[in-house]
Amino acid sequence: MPEQPIEAVMVGGSAGSFEPFAHLIKAVSGKEMPPVVVVFHLMRNVENRVVDLLRFKTGNAQIAEAEEKEFLKPGWVYVAPANYHLLIEEDRTFCLDSSDPVYFSRPSIDVTFESAAQVYGAGVVGILLSGSNGDGTYGMQCIERRGGVPLVQDPEEAEFKTMPLSCIQHLAHPRIYTLNQIEDFFLSRTRA
Q: Which residue among 17, 85, 135, 166 is the active-site one?
A: 135
**Catalytic annotation on 154?**
no
**Catalytic annotation on 108?**
no
Torsion of CA 48, 49, 54, 59, to 10 degrees: 140
**Catalytic annotation on 135?**
yes
Q: Which residue among 17, 41, 108, 115 is the active-site one?
A: 41
The residues carrying an active-site annotation are: 14, 41, 135
